[in-house]
Amino acid sequence: MTSSTDSSALICSALTKTFADAPVLRGVDLAVPPGAVVALLGPSGCGKTTTLRLIAGFDFPDSGDIVINGRRVAGAGVQIAAENRRVGMVFQEYALFPHRSVLDNVAFGLGGSARERRAQAAALLERIGLAGVGDRMPHGLSGGQQQRVALARALAPKPELLLLDEPFSNLDAGLRAQVRAEVRAILSHAGITSIFVTHDQEEALSFADSVAVMLEGRVAQFGTPSTIYRMPVSRDVAAFVGEANFLPGEAHGGVVHCALGELRLGAPLNGAVDVLIRPEMIDLRPQADGAAVILWREYYGYAQRVGLKLADGAALTARVSASWEGAVGEKVAVTILGTACAFPRS
């Protein structure tokens, strides 16, 4: 183990878990630095919730280790129960006690006298901007307020690690961005190491310090949002995170030949490859003998997507500014901005 993983707040090593003969986790490796907010991003069914449940201690791995702040909590014969792990959890469905007041919900799980617990809970509610609602019942709050109360309740016992499972997916789109920003501010202020699960790429990229992309029971890549998006380690990661065009090509060191001509590669490679071209890397100019023809246009207000067909029949999707003018059926010249990324063809 390297020194950077020794100081990690959480280390998962080679976690496996099988349910009824179906392997769900196939060797999950993850090292989270103290204080980081990490997104565990992956498609539905890839094992995200299972991973969180193992970290929380609601279930145990078949093999592999979990170490929280230097203490082994699972693996090598150790099975520390959930209540002894100092791990807080926030679920998609808030899971507040419906017959307790907001204040009592937050006070639940705190130690000390009833009076001390209520005082601590009130202080927490104030910190998350809900000082006025302590006496209300949960159903009297909006979804976003309920999620903040659930967060306050999870933070109240001062956990070493906070796990959030799809915490924003029950909120409607208009509210989600706002609640997300509020929760992000609360986590930053608390300085608590957090792992939040999402299947929403934009949410993961915009919310987290680092993203762990999970595919088929493994962490396929761990890195900053920009590294994950701009330097994906595999075609599968590239295809899952953001929109991806792939063109077949032949790489020769720092350049690759493909249907768009010769492109520069970010990292040298040789042989048959798939070239990754993100939609926003494509610059279009109307030109009578251009290499591509416009098949369709989708207008979003802040940008537009344009479908293109190349002379060899290959399809590409470009993202251009909202003011770009180009009509379906017109020919355009295509320029690729920046360097491309490629993956050896298997």
Ligand X SMILES: Nc1ncnc2c1ncn2[C@@H]1O[C@H](COP(=O)(O)OP(=O)(O)O)[C@@H](O)[C@H]1O
Give the binding site for ligand X (CB under 6 A). Answer: 19-20, 24, 42, 44-50
Residue 73 contacts residue 58 (beta carbons within 8 Å): no
Is residue 13 at the binding interface for Mg ion, with CB under 5 A as the rule? no
CB of 50 to Mg ion, least distance (A): 8
Give the burial class of 280: count Cβ atoms within 10 A of its Cβ; 0-12 exposed, 13-18 middle, 19 or more buried: middle
Q: Residue 153: count other Cβ atoms within 10 Å of its Cβ.
A: 26
**Interacting partner of 46 out of ligand X, Mg ion, none (Cβ under 5 to 8 A depending on kind):** ligand X
The sheet with strand 63-68 has its strands ordered as 22-32, 10-19, 63-68, 71-75, 78-79
Residue 214 contacts residue 195 (beta carbons within 8 Å): no
CB of 70 to ligand X, least distance (A): 27
Q: Which of residues 148-207 bind Mg ion (CB under 5 A)?
A: none
Binding window for Mg ion (CB under 5 A); candidates: 49-57, 60-68, 73-81, 143-151: 49-57
Q: Say which amino acid occupies 180.
A: R
Is the Cβ of residue 3 or residue 44 nearer to ligand X in the bound state?
Answer: 44
Is the Cβ of residue 215 or residue 247 nearer to ligand X in the bound state?
Answer: 215
Is the Cβ of residue 47 or residue 138 nearer to ligand X in the bound state?
Answer: 47
Residue 208 contacts residue 168 (beta carbons within 8 Å): no
Question: 135 Cβ partners below 8 Å, 6+ apart?
Answer: 101, 102, 103
- For residues 211 to 250, the per-residue mask of contacts with Mg ion, x marking binding by CB under 5 A and - elsewhere, is ----------------------------------------
Is the Cβ of residue 47 or residue 249 nearer to ligand X in the bound state?
Answer: 47
Is residue 50 at the binding interface for Mg ion, with CB under 5 A as the rule? no
CB of 24 to ligand X, least distance (A): 4
Member of 15, 17, 24, 49 binding Mg ion (CB under 5 A): 49
CA distance 136 to 117: 17
**Interacting partner of 44 out of Mg ion, ligand X, none (Cβ under 5 to 8 A depending on kind):** ligand X
Distances (CA, A) of 83 to 87, 110, 164, 202, 306: 8, 13, 17, 33, 53
Judged by the rule CB under 5 A, the positions of this chain that interact with Mg ion are: 48-49
